[in-house]
A and B are shown apart, each in its own frame.
Chain A
């Protein structure tokens, strides 16, 4: 009896110690988070002023100036990364979640993109460097590919907007409901879109292809898009698979084609989730430095020209923080402050939306 009591007591003590240790681990995690955030806040606030956003950098070593070029460059790169990455990621996600649901192909793509999410971002940088920055022979194949890709994406966006406009406004205004006219309209829209794409390709090719050599903003946007695509793909796939199958069946039963089901039922039901996923992907990409180091490089002057090296916040932080001047360090902290709290803010909002939507 005595022995048993002692045994139980010992087990209780061991349990207490183990649970305290696990609580301590959680506190340690929170401590690191608080430490880092507090430090960024403390150093960043002192460097924060209006000039940071409105002025270009002063020459090295001279105090003053701001980081306007980096803010604008960052926005531009991320914007184009979104333009390239979101449509591709979403389309691919829709394909593997809907058309190819349950096939080997969709499983392979899904697993590979799960792996791609964690591929070292600096390797992505070297890859993009090889195809978009380093000139290949006499004709820049990477440049041609990039222009083709860009015009395809742009014309796709153009086409969707046109289609949206026609189906939502035009048809309602002129009240056409005959099957044949609608078909004809669709055909025209498609033709216009394809023509627009070809025109864009021909129009952009001489303008861009010779210029896309050496470090350029497009390469930076492409590198970030590369990182975004698998993230967006996986979110889209997950969110679409959450939509109950009976919803689709109901739409099928009404005679809708799969395209209409996807567009009007599935996407609409999963929109919030996909949207939050995209926001999270953007916030993740906004803090990436490694893929930009040798794609968009850095530029100490203000530029919005994507054919040139373009400065981004993160690369600027890297350069400034490792630089020798005190003033640079302050600016780097201020920039880190802006970027960290932007990302945290966005992440919390997105998580909150997910929490509200998928509670239970």
Chain B
């Protein structure tokens, strides 16, 4: 018989191993920050923080580096792709939660999640070879003819449409992030208690009234969480954007111009960096991106945790 209270060797061994594995996961995230900071310290000391963010120059020859252009590109693309994606994704979520007949829910849901499973490089290739020519030949000239004629707004649609620009990149990215927003929103819409929906119907509400006044207010936090999650995803997306953006370190006023994002700059220049300060600046960019997306994802997680807690009560 085993003595009570004495742990066998295997148990101790297994416990220690699994603990060290989980501890490793915990440290990994701090290791990233530490290593990226150490690698970029050269650039941090030379350019400072605010100066680096506000400088537009990116000149490997003169060894002057500034993050303004890629940061600008990242922010523009993220905002634009979110504006394109949110209405569609919410529409899909509403469709899946309330509109669709029952037999369609699972297949359509899986199909939308398939969009998230397609590797980002496929989006990039598809954007480069299929979407960019369509954009350059039909959609962008059409936009220029209509929206481009309005005096003030016209400025952002100026230039000679090539298809390789901020707008195309945002469209590709918006397709990529649709499933993230859609599936999180659908899940939180589905959490609305049937009782609440039924009482609204009993008061004579139409389906849209129920969705608008009962379900969406109830699922608000979850939807925010999904959007912020997608925002974090959009910030860090590399390959889908790398194909259709060019890599041009300039702040442009037109959406129909090539630009750069942090990720695209990293992907294109990391292996070509020939001096320490160049490499260090690239690490600096990676650090900025990491901190940005970490904060945003933490906010998303905060929203989603609040949802979980709210519903389990």
A-to-B contact residues, CB < 8 Å: 11-12, 14-15, 18-19, 21-26, 28-30, 32-33, 35-37, 39-40, 43, 87-89, 91-96, 99-100, 105-106, 108-109, 111-116, 118-127, 129-131, 156, 179, 183, 186-187, 190, 226, 229-230, 233, 255, 257-259, 262, 283-284, 286-290, 293-294, 297, 314, 317-318, 321-322, 329, 332-333, 336, 339-340, 343-344, 347-348, 351, 355
Contacts and interface: CB of A to CB of B under 8 A. Distances in A.
Interface stretch (B47-55, B124-132, B146-154, B249-257): B124-132
B167 interface: no
Given A25-B87, A26-B92, A120-B235, A318 B121 contact: yes
B293 A118 contact: yes
B200 to A, nearest CB: 13
Contacts of A36: 118, 122-123, 126, 175
Chain B: interface size category: 35 or more
B197 interface: no
Interface string B272-288: 00000000001100100
A101 B175 CA distance: 38
Interface of B: 1-2, 7-11, 13-15, 17-19, 21-22, 24-26, 28-29, 31-32, 35-36, 38-39, 87-92, 94-96, 99-100, 106, 108, 110-115, 117-126, 128-130, 175, 178-179, 182, 206-209, 211-212, 229, 232-233, 235-239, 242-243, 263, 266-267, 270-271, 282-283, 286, 289-290, 293-294, 297-298, 301, 305
Given A99-B18, A115-B297, A293 B267 contact: yes
B286 A123 contact: yes
Nearest to B270: A294
B301 A114 contact: yes
B119 A19 contact: no
Given A289-B238, A289-B239, A321-B129, A336 B121 contact: yes
B125 A332 contact: yes
B121 A39 contact: no
Contacts of B112: 26, 29-30, 33
Contact of A95 (B22, B95, B113): B22
Contacts of A229: 25, 28
B93 to A, nearest CB: 8
